[in-house]
Structure 1
Amino acid sequence: MSEDGAALPRKAEPPPPALPWEGRAQPADKFLLGAIMASGLYLLALMPLTPTLLAHPWILVLLKGSASGMVTLGGMVRIGEASLPLVILVSIPGMMMFDWLYWWAGRRWGKRAIDVFIGNHPKAEKRAQRLERLTKRFGWAAIIIAYFQPVPNVLIYAAAGWTRMRLWVFLLLDLIGSGLWIGLCIGLGYAMGQDAVDIAKAISRYGLYLGLGLIVVVFVRQYYVASKRT
């Protein structure tokens, strides 16, 4: 109340957090959202360990489909310390580990999944519409070249589910696209040969310091972003 007895206007309440589902969350919604969040935390936890794990490229590639790990393995193939078919087989699971989750998100939540992944950007609606048109027209090609274009892969995978692409078609196209990226990384390492292996060993030797430095950079950046918002 003001001094003259008039009611003061109520402050506008902040909008509720955007959720990808409508109405009450079903068990599948909770599982899917939890799995997507867990996948992000999983990859984030592996970031500072990547330099150290370069000494064990097989593990690194299997855990996260690491490009640097595949380059190292390509060098090992060149000097006869690894088998090319085995390197390819080990690389595929890490590359495709979480892709189906984003397809499922688009399939289950539709455009709301795209909105969540894009965020509250002023041009979010236009970007979502453009992504829908591109996926409907060139969906198969977009998935194949996902690793070679600037649009985040998760948006392309979610759009594939949103536009009702069948799971087996998506997985086949994803396998082809992942194979192209794997071939590029292994081919680069093969061309470098022993140099690729030596570089990986040098990075791994100082991996602990690089990992700690990466953690510091991440925290400093988060602090800077948070301070800008206040």
Structure 2
Amino acid sequence: MTNSPGEPPAEASSWQAHSTMPPPVGAPSATVEEEKPWWDQPGMPWRHEPSKADKQCLGWIMFMGVFGLAMLPLRGWLLGRSPELLVALMGSRSGTAALGALASQGLSHWWPLCMVAGSLMSIKFDWVFWWAGKLWGRGMIEVWAGQSARATRNYARAERWAHKMGWLGMFVAYVPIPLPLMQVIFVLAGATGMGWKKFMALDFLASTLWLGLYFGLGWWMGEPAVHALKVYARYANYVAIGLVVFIIGSTVVNSNKKQG
């Protein structure tokens, strides 16, 4: 079969159509699709080339994850050794309940100051979620929801609840249920245009209210809770060591899975 001038040889066209091997010398090369830049890959919360603010916000989110893991052993240790410090430094809920139990028995004289500090420290990173919503809308929620089918269902349910509750959701965000309500509510607060000052004021009020409930629970439990704390204190060092081993082991396993 003859070819018109300018057309590739029939053999080359046939080779390209039916073979995955490189075409013969002289055959026209196939069009190579240009690779997407790193910031346009799946799993990114933005829909544009990231600005300095975008990168900083994502960096804060990554830091929060690392910080939370790193603090787990310290939390476990402080719960047995010094609930006052645990509350003042981290705003821990379990630590607040323990503090209430100690205060009910006259074993804590600094609990009012610890509670105020705890309310502030418990919201120290919440502004990052608000900022993520302001910058990317639902982008960060989509990243979290894309981790698994179960995550997709949980985040969709949490988002429906958040939309129904509006600003009152700030007080529901602290409810201890197995749904990512807090992250979703905080991100949507930024995405829907809630001001930073209003967000932080509501967040502080909600945090103080819930810590007060945990403190009251500990106060009501009283002496039995104090006794349980004393027993736990004997093993606090081992709990901290166990958490360190768990974190390191989980990191190694996840790293091997990604490489495999």
Q: What's the TM-score once normalised by structure 1's chain length?
A: 0.81
- Code of the residue aligned with 2:184 in structure 1: it is L
Matches within 5 A, 1:61-80: 61-80=87-106
Matches within 5 A, 1:169-180: 169-180=198-209
Give the SS at the match of 2:47.
coil
Give the SS at the match of 2:122.
helix
- Code of the residue aligned with 1:64 in structure 2: it is M
Aligned to 2:4: none
Match 2:191 to one of 145, 162, 168: 162
Using the alignment, how far apart are the partners of 1:22 and 1:173 within structure 2?
Answer: 30
Q: Which one has more relative contact order, counting CA pairs under 8 Å at least 6 apart?
A: 1
1:82 lines up with 2:109 in the alignment: yes
Which has the higher Rg, Structure 1 or Structure 2? 2
Using the alignment, how far apart are the partners of 1:186 and 1:197 within structure 2?
Answer: 13
Structure 1 vs Structure 2 CA RMSD:
3.1
Matches within 5 A, 1:23-102: 23-54=48-79, 55-80=81-106, 81-102=108-129
Change in 2 beyond 3 A, CA 1:126/1:207: closer
Q: Answer yes or no: is the 8 Å Cα contact 2:154–2:179 preserved in 1.
A: no
Per-residue deviation, 1:170 = 1.8
Using the alignment, how far apart are the partners of 1:127 and 1:52 within structure 2?
Answer: 32
Give the paired residue count.
Answer: 226
Using the alignment, how far apart are the partners of 1:27 and 1:78 within structure 2?
Answer: 50
Change in 2 beyond 3 A, CA 1:105/1:98: same
Change in 2 beyond 3 A, CA 1:19/1:39: same
1:183 lines up with 2:209 in the alignment: no
Determine what percentage of the aligned residue pairs are the same residue.
Answer: 37
Using the alignment, how far apart are the partners of 1:219 and 1:121 within structure 2?
Answer: 23
Q: Answer yes or no: is the 8 Å Cα contact 2:134–2:193 preserved in 1.
A: yes
1:104 lines up with 2:134 in the alignment: no
Aligned to 1:147: 174
Q: Which runs of 5+ in 1 are unaligned?
A: none
